[in-house]
Protein backbone atom coordinates (compact mmCIF):
# COMPACT_ATOMS: atom_id res chain seq x y z
CA UNK A 1 0.00 0.00 0.00
CA UNK A 2 1.44 3.39 -0.91
CA UNK A 3 1.79 6.14 1.66
CA UNK A 4 0.47 9.61 1.06
CA UNK A 5 1.67 12.89 2.45
CA UNK A 6 0.43 13.68 5.96
CA UNK A 7 0.53 17.01 7.77
CA UNK A 8 -1.67 19.73 9.24
CA UNK A 9 -3.78 21.95 7.02
CA UNK A 10 -1.71 24.75 5.52
CA UNK A 11 -1.74 28.37 6.47
CA UNK A 12 -2.36 30.79 3.58
CA UNK A 13 1.32 31.68 3.63
CA UNK A 14 4.48 30.33 5.19
CA UNK A 15 5.86 32.58 7.89
CA UNK A 16 9.37 31.15 7.85
CA UNK A 17 11.69 28.41 6.71
CA UNK A 18 10.19 25.87 9.10
CA UNK A 19 6.62 26.39 7.87
CA UNK A 20 7.43 26.53 4.14
CA UNK A 21 7.43 22.73 3.62
CA UNK A 22 4.03 22.44 5.31
CA UNK A 23 2.66 25.26 3.19
CA UNK A 24 3.84 23.70 -0.10
CA UNK A 25 2.73 20.19 0.88
CA UNK A 26 -0.66 21.55 1.91
CA UNK A 27 -1.04 23.33 -1.41
CA UNK A 28 -0.13 20.14 -3.25
CA UNK A 29 -2.85 18.32 -1.35
CA UNK A 30 -5.34 21.11 -1.99
CA UNK A 31 -4.67 21.38 -5.73
CA UNK A 32 -3.86 17.77 -6.70
CA UNK A 33 -5.17 15.60 -3.90
CA UNK A 34 -3.17 12.94 -2.07
CA UNK A 35 0.16 12.10 -3.69
CA UNK A 36 2.75 9.39 -3.07
CA UNK A 37 4.98 10.31 -0.16
CA UNK A 38 8.27 12.00 -1.00
CA UNK A 39 10.57 11.18 1.90
CA UNK A 40 12.94 14.02 0.97
CA UNK A 41 10.18 16.66 0.66
CA UNK A 42 11.08 18.70 3.74
CA UNK A 43 14.79 18.74 2.88
CA UNK A 44 14.07 19.71 -0.75
CA UNK A 45 11.71 22.52 0.26
CA UNK A 46 14.03 23.85 2.97
CA UNK A 47 16.92 23.88 0.49
CA UNK A 48 14.70 25.77 -1.98
CA UNK A 49 13.93 28.36 0.72
CA UNK A 50 17.66 28.71 1.41
CA UNK A 51 18.54 29.13 -2.29
CA UNK A 52 15.87 31.72 -3.09
CA UNK A 53 15.28 33.43 0.23
CA UNK A 54 11.88 34.00 1.81
CA UNK A 55 10.42 36.54 -0.60
CA UNK A 56 11.35 34.76 -3.82
CA UNK A 57 10.54 31.30 -2.47
CA UNK A 58 7.04 32.46 -1.56
CA UNK A 59 6.55 34.21 -4.91
CA UNK A 60 7.39 31.00 -6.76
CA UNK A 61 5.18 28.83 -4.55
CA UNK A 62 2.25 31.23 -4.66
CA UNK A 63 2.48 31.52 -8.45
CA UNK A 64 2.58 27.74 -8.80
CA UNK A 65 -0.47 27.17 -6.62
CA UNK A 66 -2.61 30.21 -7.37
CA UNK A 67 -1.98 31.39 -10.91
CA UNK A 68 -1.16 27.90 -12.21
CA UNK A 69 -3.50 26.00 -9.86
CA UNK A 70 -0.85 23.45 -8.85
CA UNK A 71 0.06 22.39 -12.39
CA UNK A 72 3.20 23.31 -14.30
CA UNK A 73 3.44 22.52 -17.99
CA UNK A 74 0.71 19.92 -17.80
CA UNK A 75 1.90 18.05 -14.71
CA UNK A 76 1.04 18.41 -11.02
CA UNK A 77 3.54 20.36 -8.94
CA UNK A 78 5.30 18.02 -6.51
CA UNK A 79 8.15 18.61 -4.06
CA UNK A 80 10.56 17.40 -6.75
CA UNK A 81 9.80 20.55 -8.80
CA UNK A 82 11.56 22.52 -6.05
CA UNK A 83 14.86 20.65 -6.46
CA UNK A 84 17.83 22.71 -7.61
CA UNK A 85 18.01 20.74 -10.87
CA UNK A 86 14.53 22.08 -11.74
CA UNK A 87 15.24 25.77 -11.05
CA UNK A 88 15.78 26.77 -14.69
CA UNK A 89 12.66 24.89 -15.83
CA UNK A 90 10.30 25.68 -12.93
CA UNK A 91 11.36 28.27 -10.35
CA UNK A 92 13.07 30.86 -12.54
CA UNK A 93 10.24 31.12 -15.11
CA UNK A 94 7.67 31.42 -12.31
CA UNK A 95 9.78 34.02 -10.54
CA UNK A 96 10.19 36.02 -13.74
CA UNK A 97 6.45 35.82 -14.37
CA UNK A 98 5.69 36.94 -10.80
CA UNK A 99 8.10 39.89 -10.86
CA UNK A 100 7.73 40.59 -14.59
Asked whether the predicted pLDDT for residue 82 surpasses 50, the reply is yes
Q: Please, are residues 10 and 46 in contact by the beta-carbon 8 Å criterion?
A: no
Condensed to tens digits (0 to 9), the pLDDT of residues 22-64 reads 999 999 999 999 989 999 999 999 999 999 999 999 999 999 9
Asked whether the predicted pLDDT for residue 3 surpasses 90, the reply is no
What is the residue-wise DSSP string for the chain?
A: ---B---PPPPSS--STTTHHHHHHHHHHHHH---B--TTHHHHHHHHHHHHHHHHHHHHHHIIIIISTTEETTEE--GGGGSGGGIIIIIHHHHHHHH-
Asked whether the predicted pLDDT for residue 70 surpasses 80, the reply is yes
Q: Over the chain, what is the mean pLDDT?
A: 89
Q: Note the pTM of the prediction, 2 decimals.
A: 0.85
Domain ranges of the chain: 20-99
**pLDDT band for position 12 (50/70/90)?**
low
Amino acid sequence: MSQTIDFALPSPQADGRDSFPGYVLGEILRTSGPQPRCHRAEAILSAFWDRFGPDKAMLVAQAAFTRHKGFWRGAPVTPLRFEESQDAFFALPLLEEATG
